[in-house]
Amino acid sequence: MDRRRLPDANGRYRERGFWDARYREAGAEPQEWLGGLSRFRRQLEAELRPGDRILVLGCGNSALSHDLYELGYTDITSIDFSPVCIEAMRARYAHCPGLRWAVMDIRALRFPDASFDVVLEKGTLDVLTVEERDPWHVSPPAAAALHQVSRVLRPGGRFVSITFAQPHFRKPHYAQEAFGWSLRHAAYGDAFHYFLYVMCKGQRLASPDVALGRKLRQPPAPAAPALPPPPAPADEDYLRAIEL
């Protein structure tokens, strides 16, 4: 990673202006966060069916949409909130008629309910969570995006989320009954592992996952009562008073 392209503060990853500037510099030259399709093709293809209507969230300049197209998944809509990115990607893949591109915010998807068989994201929800105070409290923007994903998935559709976030931290956020999906995950990578979470709309969460999700929404336990003040030091110098 070229350190000159790192933001001065993590919160900038959430700003459209940051990504516009970055894509103005990099164009549509493919760059993959968390690795390209060859790293997780087996796990991902297990979730895809021929003819699936696929939505890719926060596509960036990743080659993923095009690589899937080449494999025969030819109905793919890719969105990103950076117009610079989308313009470059549209030009780069103009020769692929089934690849569609749109400037859109994942927190406010402009698609009808139940209009996709698969929603796919890689590293995009991670961007919405970069400034969270701790891994237990997902920010309203990330929760809004998850509600949108659930809304646009048809019953039986799959949401595939590829992230560096470990199950311990990410599962409780996906294991919400309100989304109406089941949850499982797999890991990929060699030394450093990434994770692929699969949510199937219309299937039930396993009981332990329901419990995980509910625990997240429980109000924090009240603070422990303050300890009593330590006793005042004795006036006497008791060490000197000991007669040996």
Kindly state the number of chain residues that form the binding site for ligand SAM, as judged by CB under 6 A: 18
Q: Is 124 in the site for ligand SAM (CB under 6 A)?
A: yes
To ligand SAM, the closest distance from the beta carbon of 35 in angstroms equals: 9
Q: By the 8 A CB rule, do 168 and 127 touch?
A: no
Of 48, 86, 106, 165, the one binding ligand SAM by CB under 6 A:
106
CA–CA distance from 78 to each of 46, 93, 111, 185 (Å)?
20, 12, 12, 23
Q: What are phi and psi of 145, to 5 degrees?
A: -65, -40
Specify burial of residue 87 (Cβ count, 10 A radius: 0-12, 13-18, 19+).
middle
Nearer Cβ to ligand SAM (85/205): 85
Q: Is 105 in the site for ligand SAM (CB under 6 A)?
A: yes
To ligand SAM, the closest distance from the beta carbon of 137 in angstroms equals: 18
- Strand ordering across the sheet containing 116-122: 99-103, 76-80, 54-57, 116-122, 153-163, 194-200, 184-188
Nearer Cβ to ligand SAM (139/203): 139
To ligand SAM, the closest distance from the beta carbon of 145 in angstroms equals: 7
Of 53, 100, 107, 185, the one binding ligand SAM by CB under 6 A:
107
Q: Is 87 in the site for ligand SAM (CB under 6 A)?
A: no
- Tokens for 103, please give them: 């400037």
Stretch that binds ligand SAM, among 78-86, 109-117, 132-140, 232-240 (CB under 6 A): 78-86
Alpha-helical runs (H) found in the chain: 16-26, 37-45, 64-70, 83-92, 124-128, 140-152, 167-174, 207-217, 238-241
Residues at the site binding ligand SAM, with contacts judged by CB under 6 A: 19, 32-33, 58-60, 62, 80-82, 85, 105-107, 122-124, 127
